[in-house]
Structure 1
Amino acid sequence: MSHGTGGSALGMGWFGRRLAEKGYIVVGANHHGNTAIEPYQPEGFLCAWERSRDLSTLLDKFVRDPKYGGHIDQKRIFAAGFSLGGHTVIASAGAVYAKDQFLAWLADQPGVNGPREFPDLGDHVERLTENSEPFRTSMTRHGHSYHDPRIKAVFAMAPAPTVRGFTTDSLAEITVPIYIQTGAADQECPVESCTNWLGAKNPSFQIEILDGDIGHYVFLSEPTKYAIEDVPEIAIDPAGINRRTIHQHAADTADRFFSATV
């Protein structure tokens, strides 16, 4: 399970808990440098391809784990993610990211220099390129395939605009079943430029657009009083939107989809 940019596995706890109640073993990644449980690092936001490597490394660990390994049916391994996590799990299914393709698309998006969690992200690229050997090394890997054949199906919630960097050929060649669920009113990851664009590249992808005023952050946990006061733009949904109901629908849909693929 892969969180959105700047988020955490805990923020996707609603999804993990519901699947665990259905008998799944759920492993949530906290992607280094891109997670709210530690200080943000620009490398963690810029090198999104490293996230799929995170998932494969975690999977390696858990199938060998003495407590969990014997309980894991390796014919029924699935991946789910939200926002940049949606990008991550689609990459784990075989989509290949081309940095220049994404930058060309981004150039036509006015005033975008980074996500809301790291609005000056683009300003860090030159410094990192000059001073950071790990960053330069990671950049040489952006066009690699991170397909993990152990993953039998993928459930992506509101995949991020970075999917516009996925090459057309790699998307068309994906045979792993993929289900994409997005709110019709998503302003962060607009349906036409993200979800529907992906669907047009591979007609086998199952697409569900949630009607009404359902936005991007409905896929985060139900907000606490503190969250409502501190980050109302993330925590408060439009009138009539019941986040708990949408969460239940998403988890039930993922369960049915996963169950039908094996």
Structure 2
Amino acid sequence: MKLGFREGVLYDEQRPDWDAAGPRPVRWSLWYPAADHVQERHIQERSWFRKAAVARDAPIRTSNRPYPLVLLSHGTGGSAAGLEWLARRLVDHGFAALGVDHHGNTGSEPYRAEGFACLWERAPDLSLMLDRCRDWLGDLTGRIDTDRVFAAGFSAGAYSVMLLLGAVAQFSQFEPSRLKPGGPRGPREFPELADHIPSLLRSSDVFRESWSRMSRSYRDDRIKSALLCAPGRSVFCFSEESLKTVEAPALILVGDADKAAPAEECSSWLHERLTRSALNIFGGGLGHYVFVPEGTELGFAFAAELFTDPPGIERRAVHDEIADLSAALFQAGDVRP
């Protein structure tokens, strides 16, 4: 199937950017089935990720019914491009996939401590795309079904998706009062995050306002089911009472050798507290970053640890299996009389 691609940016007028200079930006990337006659081309860019050729801004492929939509939420410090591997496979299964870059917590712009500390701000980015679908659909209106919506997230993206399902945060993972002596003070991408929080609470009105929204409910009942890839320790921030209220089916996937988000510590903990979840632990020594794309020469040169798998493991085949499992999950939730 030909792969269509579009991108743009929306601005959330209800929330400021971290500098209080304007509304919060929500950059988006859309992958969808393109018309058979279009020509695909590789996007010319220097990237760590291998990507498929796309037909930019192409017309959509004719279908008897609109394509269901999957919202994508990237991992800590990542971008929507980091889930292109899943998006294009979902397109082959008959879906459209829409990813966003979470402001301040994305590699598409400078990292901000605010964006890493206030992970709950990521969930409204995804809901905004549904609230404002007319602003990005354009000529695709009526061809992508924003009433049949699913979600998938990796690592911190799984946290974001859990908020949409009804989980409520009680605290921020790296707030100083909760850290263990000698333990990590931030994620791999922002290792001294905890040191920034006290000063931000003193100096930034935007940060204080966001901090006050920490324990709001960001539940969005438009999400029918969800894929959770390698949820991390941030899930421990959720109220266990709120997890009992999650009704949408969730599939949790994780590697057996994930050191960043150990399966027994994170995924199993979450699975045991959800009433409609399934847990699949991949064997073979798979780590956390099997959920990121295959690497280019540039990617291997700068961050080989992100793209290196155990001997005998082909990341492409793992990605194929993940896409098949997720498509089956979403199709099960897309049954109409």
Give, in whole Å, the separation in 2 of the partners of 1:187 and 1:105.
24
- For 2:112, the equivalent position in structure 1 comes to 41
Structure label with greater radius of gyration:
2
The alpha carbon displacement at 1:101 in A equals 8.1
Which residue in 2 is equivalent to 1:148? 220
* Counterpart residue identity of residue 252, structure 1: D
1:150 Cα offset (Å) = 0.7
Secondary structure of 2:79's partner? coil
The alpha carbon displacement at 1:31 in A equals: 0.5
Deviation at 1:7, TM superposition (A): 0.5
Matched, 1:132 2:211: no
Aligned to 1:2: 73
User: Larger deviation: 91-100 or 128-137?
Assistant: 91-100
| 2:92 matches 1:21 | yes
State the partner residue of 1:218: 290
Where does residue 246 of structure 1 map in the other structure?
A: 318
| Partners of 2:243 and 2:103 in 1: CA distance | 26
Q: In the TM superposition, what are the counterparts of 1:91-240 in structure 2 within 5 Å?
A: 91-99=163-171, 107-108=179-180, 110-240=182-312
Partners of 1:158 and 1:181 within 8 A in 2: yes
Provide the TM-score with structure 1 as the length reference. Answer: 0.95
Q: Which runs of 5+ in 2 are unaligned?
A: 1-71
Structure 1 residue 75, shift from structure 2 partner: 3.7
Task: Report deviation, 1:110.
Answer: 4.2
Cα contact 2:117–2:173 (8 A) shared by 1: no
Question: Does residue 62 of the first structure (1) align with residue 139 of the second (2)?
Answer: no
Task: Note if contact 2:185-2:192 (Cα within 8 Å) is conserved in structure 1.
Answer: yes
Percent identity over the alignment is 42
1:75–1:152 contact (8 Å) kept in structure 2: no
CA contact (8 A) 1:106 1:112 kept: no
Stretch deviating more after TM superposition (236-245 or 177-186):
236-245
Determine which structure has the larger strand proportion and give its number: 2
CA distance in 2, matches of 1:63, 1:205: 32
Deviation string 1:193-240 (CA, Å, 9 cap, x unpaired) is: 210000111242111111120000000000111111111121211212
- Tell me the SS of whatever aligns to 2:263: coil
8 Å CA contact 2:154–2:229 kept in 1: the answer is yes
Residue identity opposite 1:255 in structure 2: A
- Go from structure 1 to structure 2 and tell me whether the alpha carbon gap of 1:89 and 1:100 turns closer, same or farther (over 3 Å shift): closer
1:132, 1:100 → 2: CA distance? 17
The alpha-carbon distance between structure 1 residues 105 and 60, as it changes in their structure 2 partners (threshold 3 A), is same
Gaps of 5+ in 1: none
- When the two structures are aligned, how many residues end up with a matched partner? 262
The root-mean-square deviation of aligned C-alpha atoms, in Å, is: 1.8
Letter in 1 for 2:249: P
**Which protein, 1 or 2, shows the higher relative CO under an 8 Å CA cutoff with sep ≥ 6?**
1
Greater alpha carbon shift after TM alignment, 82-91 vs 195-204: 195-204
Question: Structure 1 pair 102/114, CA: closer, same or farther in 2 (3 Å)?
Answer: closer
Distance 2:174 2:107 in 1: 25
Alpha-carbon distance, 1:123 to partner? 0.7
Q: CA deviation digits over 1:159-178, x for unaligned, max 9? A: 12101101111111111111
